[in-house]
Amino acid sequence: MSQGLFLIKMKKLNDLYDYNLKIYQDTDFFKFSLDSILLAEYVVVHPKDKVIDLCTGNAPIPMILSTRYSNKIFGIELQEQVFQNAIESVRYNNLNDQIELIHDNVKNAKNYFPGNNFDDKMTKLKEARLNNVFVKPSKEILKEQQKRWDLFIKKMGDSNILSLLVDSKIVVSSSEYAVIVTELEATSHLINTSIYKIEKEFNKMFKSEIKLISTTVEDWENIKKEYVKNTKNKVEYKMIEESKIGYNEEILKGIAEDVFKNVKIEME
């Protein structure tokens, strides 16, 4: 009789880091990671905010947020087994009154919250800047900005910002825009929520007026493929005015102050 190696599929009840919570996890599906912890730890929730976690997985972010805030928290998850793990995890920790889980596609999120307008301005700003950098990208400018970025990180005196940028790099640049990439989605999100402060310091150091935005390495690969495809098809990138998407420096400054007001960011 031949012998083989068999993978045993199983669901486990694990500690949710050191939050005094338990979470059900399955070997075949989503398991919480550093990304989940970072997003939950450094998000700022105000008393009247309604919190929605899209693609919540087995609900680590809503459960971690429940240790810091009393707001109502919603989680949306499409995969059946992952959703069931989330339901069981929330029930095990007696969080049913605070956390409500919805089994559906995130595309249908607004169907569950009629009359609510959730802030998507950062997403629009990111889309605009990722578009605008390709209007006139330059290899020569990119080389110069990469050198400046490395020097900027070395001379950065703000430990909060430094902890976010330490493993980041600039991958494309024009005379007006530059794109920063980093491995973790949570880190990229935190960079973008503090982008006003970062670009202000960067421009002050090099006497420039560059506008920055961050994305992940994984997303950047897809963006590059789309750019190559558009170039081959002779699709022109046209400048999107940021004023038309309702964003300005005061809003960006407010986000940065919110994020860093009471939180010290430390990452290994």
**155-213 pLDDT, tens digit each:** 988 887 888 898 899 999 999 999 999 988 778 888 887 888 899 999 999 999 999 99
- Examine domains 11-112 and 121-261 and report if their fold is the same: no
Share above pLDDT 70 across residues of the chain, in percent, rounded to a whole number: 84
Cα 31 off chain centre by: 17
Q: What is the mean pLDDT of residues 118-129?
A: 75
pLDDT confidence tier of residue 140, bands split at 50, 70 and 90: very high
pTM: 0.60
| Least reliable range by pLDDT among 101-115, 140-154, 161-175, 250-264 | 250-264
Q: Tell me how far apart the terminal alpha carbons of the chain are, to the nearest angstrom.
A: 49
What is the fold, at CATH topology level, of the domain defined by 11-112? Rossmann fold (3.40.50)
Whole-number pLDDT of residue 186: 75
Q: What is the mean pLDDT of residues 96-121?
A: 77
**pLDDT at 33 > cutoff 70:** yes
Highest average pLDDT, of 56-70, 96-110, 116-130, comes from: 56-70
Domain boundaries, the chain: 11-112, 121-261
Please state, in angstroms and rounded to a whole number, the distance separating the CA atoms of residues 205 and 6. 58
| Least reliable range by pLDDT among 29-33, 59-63, 73-77, 126-130 | 29-33
User: CB burial class (10 A; 0-12, 13-18, 19+) of residue 164?
Assistant: buried
Strands of the sheet with 169-173, listed across from one edge: 169-173, 177-182, 211-216
What is the fold, at CATH topology level, of the domain defined by 121-261? GMP Synthetase; Chain A, domain 3 (3.30.300)
pLDDT tens profile 237-264: 999 888 776 555 555 555 444 444 443 3
Whole-number average pLDDT of the chain:
83
Structure tokens at 54: 């899209």
Question: Any idea of the CA torsion for 128, 129, 133, 136, to the nearest 10 degrees?
Answer: 50
